[in-house]
Structure 1
Amino acid sequence: MRPRVLLRARAELTARKIHSEAPRHARNPPHAKPLPPRPPRSRAAKWGGRAVVLGIVGTGAFLADREYNASAVTRSLRTAYIGLISTLDYKINFKPEKSDEIESLHTRVANRLRWVVDTNQGMYLKLGQAIGLQASMLPKPYREAFAHVFDRAPSVPYEEVVGVFKADLGIDPMDIFETFSPEAVASASVAQVHKATLKAVVGNPDRVVAVKVQKPAIAKQMDLDLFSYRTLMYLAQKAFDLPLYFVAKYVSEQMRHETSFNREARNARKCAEYLSQTPELRDDIMVPKVYGKEEGYPESDRILVMEWVDGCRLTDKAQIEAWGLKPRDVMDLAIALNAAMTFSWGFVHCDPHPGNILVRPHPTKRGKPQLIVLDHGLYITLREQFRNEYATLWRSLFVLDVPKVEEIGKKWGFGLDPNMFASAILLRPAEIKKTGEKTERKKLSKYHQQLEVKKQLKVILENEKFIPRELILLGRCQRMMQANNQTLGSPSSRVNITAEWAARGWANSLTGSRTLRAVGLRTWLHDRWEMVLFRVTVWAIDALFRWTNFRNRWLPYRNNLGWEEELQKQMETMAREELGIEIDDSTFAG
């Protein structure tokens, strides 16, 4: 029986094989209707099908990125697209035969970058501010495009704030606060602030606090955002043959620090400690108390609880004068604080814009102001060697020690003559060395003007590896102080106040005794002579400052400018005549 079964199975397999290999008409019986031939697909149909598949996949990826990744990939692709078309635009249209169209070229690219910043929001606002504060050296369209990045950023809904509390602390805000405002009272690029009151269990039932909460999308977006920023700067460096990437790398590292509220809490406490050790400032400047584990509050890298303090913005002249306070007293304190941080502490708050420094009437000194310092996320700690050199540089500029200025300038890798180097540091025109007659600069086309600017920037930055990175943010602080002073009508002598603190920092940097017996007659006399020169220079600048204020107040028939405006105009003239660079900081005043 078994051989018969095997033979039958083989016969069936053979029949099936023959049937499958038979022609189409043989497999269909004669009475069946023949199947029509399948028409070939057109190329358009093929591409249409692929487009549909790609559309479905792309839409799914977009929705997944938006829902689960805070659109981090979409933001980066948007940035890459704008970077690519802007680079190509410059490569194609930045030519001598299109010199008359260069201004419109800058406008197109600046508006594209502004669109990216406005659309992406978040960390891009910080990056836009970084560009904005460097925009004095950029063409006018960039200055106009980034003027808005210092405005208030949109806040996120209360539900998202609750989500941050639950994710980080496992609790609802109302579990630890008596009251908590659902609406943010202030909002910035990275975080927003809510007003709350402490619960009785903490021991301060009526104490009002400010609760700073990081926007939940920041953690998901930060890495790709900063990577996109560095990539754009790297491509710009390659495309335009300018050393730009080192700035992007340093700035992105510092911005990463701003997203850590544990770091901000440490910075705030450290700043308060330094203030307590500075008798010239400790009664007139305060840092709101930070609440942490010692006060019974859990700590989080995205939630910060601070003492609530009322005050007006540093540049709110109307409110300052309504309180009977003098704008000069306010700005003197703000400039002195920045200078003390730089030259005495070596620990510098690098975001001193008007919203981060509040003013209120002093609680114990009638008619005097008190400053409140907020937002301690962005600090730099200066290397001791750099701090000593920076203090020495400022003092050398005032005692006209040209060899020392040139020595530091060369050590820092700057290819500028000492006059331009001094002017860049002081943010005021300075001629510490006679360089002969100025050559008349030829009238150049827009294209050749841009080439000249590029040439000068390459000279300035050719040794970028020697440039102290601290100068990037210290220069930002000086420009912010200059703009704040200018907004209040230039009531303070910024350069003199800074120089006084620089002289203290220089004195503290000296090792050993400077008495006559310790250093000898020649060195002792040299120290005395330098001190006389320093005082005379400070006196001369202060006299000019006072004359400018007197002229503006009592001689209104003249076209008068404030002190900082005078310095700015002179800097613009020097930059135009010496470097062919158009400078205009007025966009970011205040």
Structure 2
Amino acid sequence: MPPRASPTSALRLRRFYTSRAAVDTPPPVSHSRGAPNGSSASLPPKRKQRSTWTQRLLVLGLIGGGVYAYDKKFNASAITRSLRTGYIGLLCTLDYKLNFSPEKANEINELHERVAKRLRWVIDTNQGLYLKLGQAIGLQAALLPKPYRDAFFHVFDNAPSVPYEQVVQVFRSDLGIDPMDVFGEFSKEALASASVAQVHRAVLRPEAGNPDQVVAVKVQKPAIAKQMEWDLFSYKSLMWLAQKAFDLPLYFVADYVSSQMRFETSFTMEAANARKCAALLAQTPELRDDVYVPRIYGKEDGYPESDRILVMEWVDGCRLNDKKQIEAWGLDPREVMDLAIGLNGAMTFSWGFVHCDPHPGNILVRPHPWKKGKPQIVVLDHGLYITLRQSFREEYATLWRSMFVLDIDTIEKIGKKWGLGLDPNMFASAIMLRPTQVKPTGKKGPHPKKSEYELQLEVKAQFKAILESEQLIPKELIFLTRCQRMMQANNQTLGSPSSRVNVTAQWAARGYANSLTGSRALSAVGFQTWLKDRLQMVVFRFTLWVIDVAFWWTKLKQRWGSSDALGWEDRLQKQMESLARDEFGIEIDDTVFLG
């Protein structure tokens, strides 16, 4: 057994081994110059800060990538589309705020081109409801600078269709069946495609009691349901941003337009609108034989019907503005346009129930099934209707009639009630889409030459003055003006065969007469009112006669005069352009409505 060490010896041994350990242990390696295994705690402050930001950016990138992947696969890229819209909206706003100035007056056209191209890009990229919003801009493009007219002309073309597999998904999701479970035939390729839906040709099964019955099946694109609320939020946000940035009261229309777009994506609502339109036609003897609404096949008939699937009768025909085919059938373009304009007049002034998308693809023409040599028009796409308030419908009919009987007091009264502080002549011209002078005024010469910047500031001031009482402006005017412009463009494309203003005025007179309560007989209203009614009727008919004479004189010049003679609507357009240039100093162009 070894001898036991004394305490003193033990202390010396500890000191010896401790000193040897200090000599034998290598010094710690510094990681401040990029050693592979260093901890962030040992980094210098600047290096440590960079490392922290790198980690944060990496985490954000991973989160962003995950959100993008989820959004694309499960949410139809709704968030991505909204972010894209927000980016373009901010970019365009900043561009205008920085570059729309007197110092850069000679660069304003280039500014408009940049902004128009960005807006076109975001509409073309996002598709869906953005095409509807693009059409809304396109319909107002006649009042915008030329780059916007060029950029938005294409939005009235067909939109791309989705593959058949996605159509099957909609059937399975809404009805729990495949298309071939219901139909004997079903085209896998869409025959037509719009911004919200596409149409397939199908044949009903013989056992349903309709052998070989061909139908059109309208199927909503599956992404619309997921994108709609995000898209409308983006639209309303941009309207709010534009209002704040440019000091113009623009946001007041956002809620109204958004609610109408929601209705347009509901095929249950569209089916109800189509049935109501057909019922109102049956009560209108002037139109019921010559205007047709295809039958809707619904649940009561044993066919599928949902908010995203609609089955209707298939009807062949050509587009309303297909002049070549109309004449090949031996039909009179004037009768065709008189029917289309008359239908719009009946909806506006008699029914108070207005189809607000009467572009040429939604109104077909075909030879009348039993009236030889006569046309019949077929009304499609009943998604977008507005119901006019009784009070507004009466005021609108009264306004049209007052413009023909030169009742200036009534015109001014209605204009003030609607919050439109316009000169009566300009107000009447804007409503009828033709130069109209109801109040004598001193002759004005053309505006002195102004820079592009000064002209557009003047336009902004005019619009701001008009829109300052936005709470009073009837929202119905947005869509009624749209309908008038579309009818004007359809008429113009066919060579202006119809006297649009007169046909509309006659329906307005019917609406005005129907709105009157009580008897208008001499014993009921007294001699003075009775005489005023008769005088106004004489003035009304005389004004219609004068316009008809001017219309037919233009037609004769067009037929027998020079080959470049302008048609009726073309002449009105030129006069409106001259009026806008002389009164406001701005240039307008209606060629955008000819699609």
Question: Aligned equivalents of 2:492 and 2:148: distance in 1?
Answer: 21
Q: Does 1:580 align with 2:585?
A: yes
Q: Does 1:438 align with 2:474?
A: no
SS of corresponding position for 2:215: strand
Q: Does 1:66 align with 2:72?
A: yes
Q: Does 1:172 align with 2:178?
A: yes
- Which residues in structure 2 correspond to 1:293-332 (within 5 Å)? 293-332=299-338
> Which residue, 236, 239, 248 being the options, matches 2:254?
248
SS of corresponding position for 2:217: strand
Q: Does 1:412 align with 2:418?
A: yes
Question: Aligned equivalents of 1:29 and 1:156: distance in 2?
Answer: 77
- Which residues in structure 2 correspond to 1:180-329 (within 5 Å)? 180-329=186-335
CA deviation after TM superposition for structure 1 residue 440, in Å:
4.5
CA deviation after TM superposition for structure 1 residue 201, in Å:
3.1
- Whether the 8 Å contact between 2:141 and 2:592 is mirrored in structure 1 is no
CA deviation after TM superposition for structure 1 residue 568, in Å:
0.7
Question: Aligned equivalents of 2:130 and 2:22: distance in 1?
Answer: 73
- Whether the 8 Å contact between 2:420 and 2:469 is mirrored in structure 1 is yes
Change (3 A) 1:555 1:58: same
SS of corresponding position for 2:162: coil
Aligned to 1:140: 146
Consecutive unaligned residues in structure 1, runs of 5 or more: 1-24
Aligned to 1:38: 31
Q: Does 1:383 align with 2:389?
A: yes
Aligned to 1:551: 557
Larger deviation, residues 345-354 vs 52-61: 52-61
Number of aligned residues: 565
CA deviation after TM superposition for structure 1 residue 527, in Å:
1.0
Question: Aligned equivalents of 1:351 and 1:450: distance in 2?
Answer: 30
Aligned to 2:400: 394
- Whether the 8 Å contact between 1:415 and 1:462 is mirrored in structure 2 is no
Q: Does 1:356 align with 2:362?
A: yes
Supply the AA of the counterpart residue of 1:265: A
Supply the AA of the counterpart residue of 1:560: A
> Which residue, 560, 568, 573 being the options, matches 1:563?
568
CA deviation after TM superposition for structure 1 residue 32, in Å:
4.7
Deviations 1:525-554 (CA, angstroms, capped at 9, x unpaired): 111111111110001001101110110110
Deviations 1:27-82 (CA, angstroms, capped at 9, x unpaired): 98754545422322365554444333322221111111000100000000000000
SS of corresponding position for 1:360: strand
Aligned to 2:594: 589
Supply the AA of the counterpart residue of 2:592: T
Consecutive unaligned residues in structure 2, runs of 5 or more: 1-17, 33-42
Aligned to 1:18: none
SS of corresponding position for 1:466: coil
Deviations 1:276-335 (CA, angstroms, capped at 9, x unpaired): 000110000100000111111232110000000001100011111111111111111000
> Which residue, 406, 428, 434 being the options, matches 1:422?
428
Question: Aligned equivalents of 1:133 and 1:460: distance in 2?
Answer: 19
- Whether the 8 Å contact between 1:202 and 1:295 is mirrored in structure 2 is no
SS of corresponding position for 1:341: helix
> Which residue, 483, 491, 495 being the options, matches 2:489?
483
Aligned to 2:348: 342
> Which residue, 538, 545, 548 being the options, matches 1:542?
548
Change (3 A) 1:300 1:30: farther
- Whether the 8 Å contact between 1:28 and 1:34 is mirrored in structure 2 is no
SS of corresponding position for 2:471: helix
Supply the AA of the counterpart residue of 1:518: A
CA deviation after TM superposition for structure 1 residue 26, in Å:
10
Deviations 1:344-378 (CA, angstroms, capped at 9, x unpaired): 00000000000000011001011111111000000
- Which residues in structure 2 correspond to 1:441-520 (within 5 Å)? 441-520=447-526
SS of corresponding position for 1:459: helix
SS of corresponding position for 1:465: coil
- Whether the 8 Å contact between 2:139 and 2:592 is mirrored in structure 1 is no
When Rg is computed on C-alpha atoms for both structures, the one with the higher figure is: 2
Change (3 A) 1:464 1:33: same
SS of corresponding position for 1:464: coil
Question: Aligned equivalents of 1:361 and 1:573: distance in 2?
Answer: 39
CA deviation after TM superposition for structure 1 residue 89, in Å:
0.4
SS of corresponding position for 1:146: helix
Question: Aligned equivalents of 1:441 and 1:564: distance in 2?
Answer: 25
Question: Aligned equivalents of 1:65 and 1:442: distance in 2?
Answer: 55
Change (3 A) 1:48 1:503: same
- Whether the 8 Å contact between 2:446 and 2:583 is mirrored in structure 1 is no
Larger deviation, residues 431-440 vs 61-70: 431-440
